[in-house]
Amino acid sequence: MAWRAAVSLRSPLGRVLGAGSARAGTAHWWAQRVSAVALIPLTLWFFWSLLLLPTLDYATVRTWLSVPLSALLAVLLVAVTAYHSYLGTNVVVEDYVHAHSAKLFLAVLLRFLYVLCAGAGIFAILRIAFLP
């Protein structure tokens, strides 16, 4: 867009602060990084916990997830994973789906799917935690 920027009345600083036509700027990039950092301990905790459980049968897993700390971390895991994954797959759709209508449709569909998936997972954890 160099030829267009040359005739723009906006200052270079204004363009940077205004963060382009979408006004989104680095928000998406930053959110992806922050959620990634949060997921390091959360995913490692989940992975390690499952590996350390003596068995993976119903009673054992349910008892483990009924502990308040496990339930809290599991809720955070599902929520942050869904958020991070939504941000990532959204970029994949933006990059590889070229037809505008298909892009819009997929972006909205993904958003609904992630909210549904995370909502159902978190609801399940809370049910286990509060109705042991």
Q: How far apart are CA 32 and CA 41, in angstroms?
A: 16
Q: Which residues contact 46 (CB under 8 A, 6 or more apart)?
A: 73, 74, 77
**CB contact at 8 A, 71 and 126:** yes
We find the least distance from the C-beta atom of residue 35 to another protein, in angstroms, to be 11
Q: How far is the CB of 14 from another protein (least distance, A)?
A: 24
Interface with another protein by CB under 8 A: which residues? 3, 33, 36-37, 40, 43-44, 47, 51, 54-58, 61-62, 65, 74, 78, 81-82, 85, 88-89, 92, 114, 117-118, 120-121, 123-125, 127-128
Closest approach, Cβ 88 to another protein, in A, equals: 5
Q: Which of 11, 109 has the CB closer to another protein?
A: 109
Q: Which is nearer to another protein, 29 or 105 (CB)?
A: 29
* Dist CA 125 CA 109 (whole Å): 24
Question: Between residues 14 and 109, which has the closer beta carbon with respect to another protein?
Answer: 109
CB of 117 to another protein, least distance (A): 5
**In this structure, are residues 73 and 46 in contact, taking their beta carbons and an 8 Å threshold?**
yes
Helix and strand numbers, DSSP H then E, in the chain: 6, 0
